[in-house]
Amino acid sequence: VNVAILGATGAVGKELLELLAERKFPLKNLKLLASTRSAGSKIIFQGQEIVVEAVADSSFDDVDILLASAGGSTSKAWAKKAVAAGAVVIDNSSAFRMDETVPLVVPEINPEAAGKHQGIIANPNCTTILMGVAIYPLHQIQPIKRVVVATYQSASGAGARAMEEAKIQARDILDGKQPLAEVLPYPIAFNLFPHNSPLNDQGYCEEELKMVNETRKIFNAPEIRVTATCVRVPILRAHSETVNLEFAQPFDVEQARELIAAAPGVKLVEDWQSNYFPMPIDATGQDPVLVGRIRQDISHPCGLELWLCGDQIRKGAALNAIQIAELLLEKNLLEVPDSAFSV
Ligand code: A2P
């Protein structure tokens, strides 16, 4: 399969490269695309040097799958051109997620949605993916009525430069210097702040609304009520979340534990004796979402509480995109319908 990565020099782009190699994706040709800033730089992939190209109109000739991870405006500028050139685009940005003609896919939850693509498949928001794989096994047994979630989001969500900035800030603070914040609006080292995406007039930020709207779309359950508080914390690349679930009937905690332990993409991590539960350092570099502290909500007879950590760059972004690509191959879904965009 001929694959191109748009945003190959970024945090997610680099992880996509690792995963293509690690999972032995059946590659014929691999093209690495970025902006003019990185054009000409070289990346070693499986012992071979690949020169990064600036994305251009001709970039998508002979591309079967475009993995796009270069931000919303870049996806808006190029995705439809790639489809018109015959590629299926797996887009990691928020540009097309809520478009009715674009499936929003987490392979452990709604693989069937991928079959309806018109050339573009959207990869959901990272916090939404991590929560989704953890709570869907419960939703399948008893529909979730309401979700109250708080997130603890790592610097990686804002890209490779934000991760670098976090490390520099930590060093500066330990050296007694004033930390500089250029990528994120405030210092993230030894600090935390509510997610900096734009706020609406109800006081919710875009990141929080993604959790609301994308969860409903992925679960195909527009009736689920979701409220979220998203916070950036001084962690490099794994997000954590506290999730409160409300059902119509009480949910047996032991059953919830068994369902989560058996679910794909999830690992139950609970040692109540030692007070050992999922932590970002354990989730970093791991594929499964770590889930633990599953317990009855003492404030509501039909409520459950749980805690999770997941690698934001892996399952929260690159791994989910590669799983979608694998699904396309497995189900023979690489054809772009004639009705798809023409540019
Ligand atoms: P570049 O290295 O040329 O800036 P991250 O999310 O880690 O910040 O990475 C963003 C990725 O998106 C990088 O690979 C970056 O490439 C790429 N990118 C950003 N803006 C553009 C653009 N206008 N056109 C193409 N690629 C872009």
pLDDT, tens digit, 9 for 90 and up, residues 201-218: 999 999 999 999 999 999
Report the percentage of the chain scoring pLDDT > 70.
99
CA of 34 to the centre of ligand 1 (A): 5
41 CB within 6 A, ligand 1: no
Task: Say what the pLDDT of residue 180 is.
Answer: 98
Nearest CA to ligand 1 atom 9: 10
The model's pTM: 0.97
Whether residue 239 lies in the annotated active site: yes
Lookup: tokens for 145 = 């009525």
59 CB within 6 A, ligand 1: no
- Ligand 1 pocket: which of 35, 36, 66 to mutate (most atoms <8 Å of CB)? 35
Report the percentage of the chain scoring pLDDT > 90.
97
Lookup: tokens for 7 = 């945003």
Task: Say what the pLDDT of residue 29 is.
Answer: 97
**Tokens 């950036």, residue?**
232
Return the DSSP state at 317: I
157 CB within 6 A, ligand 1: no
- State which ligand 1 atom lies nearest to the alpha carbon of 41: 2
Q: What is the mean pLDDT of the chain?
A: 97
Indicate the helix (H) or strand (E) that contains 15. Answer: helix 11-22
Nearest CA to ligand 1 atom 24: 35
Do 260 and 266 contact (CB within 8 A), yes or no?
Answer: yes
304 CB within 6 A, ligand 1: no
Task: Work out the average pLDDT over 86-95.
Answer: 98
Indicate which residue of 117, 126, 139, 309 is catalytic. Answer: 126
- Per-residue pLDDT tens digits for 94-142: 999 999 999 999 999 999 999 999 999 999 999 999 999 999 999 999 9
Task: Work out the average pLDDT over 283-298.
Answer: 98
Q: Is the per-residue pLDDT at 309 higher than 60?
A: yes
| C-alpha to C-alpha distance for 38 and 9, rounded to whole angstroms | 7
| C-alpha to C-alpha distance for 73 and 271, rounded to whole angstroms | 44
71 CB within 6 A, ligand 1: yes
74 CB within 6 A, ligand 1: yes
Closest CA to 132 of 114, 152, 149: 149
Q: Is the per-residue pLDDT at 161 higher than 70?
A: yes
Task: Say what the pLDDT of residue 340 is.
Answer: 67
Task: Say what the pLDDT of residue 336 is.
Answer: 82
- Count of Cβ atoms closer than 10 Å to residue 173 Cβ: 15
Indicate which residue of 117, 230, 239, 309 is catalytic. Answer: 239
- Per-residue pLDDT tens digits for 218-261: 999 999 999 999 999 999 999 999 999 999 999 999 999 999 99
| C-alpha to C-alpha distance for 96 and 246, rounded to whole angstroms | 30
pLDDT band (50, 70, 90) for residue 338:
confident
Whether residue 126 lies in the annotated active site: yes
Nearest CA to ligand 1 atom 22: 35
| C-alpha to C-alpha distance for 338 and 341, rounded to whole angstroms | 8
Instruction: List, edge to edge, every strand of the sheet that includes 144-153.
Output: 193-194, 225-232, 144-153, 238-247, 303-311, 289-296, 266-268
Task: Say what the pLDDT of residue 337 is.
Answer: 73
Task: Say what the pLDDT of residue 41 is.
Answer: 98
- Ligand 1 pocket: which of 55, 74, 76, 94 to mutate (most atoms <8 Å of CB)? 74
CA of 68 to the centre of ligand 1 (A): 10
CA of 36 to the centre of ligand 1 (A): 9
CA of 312 to the centre of ligand 1 (A): 18
126 CB within 6 A, ligand 1: no
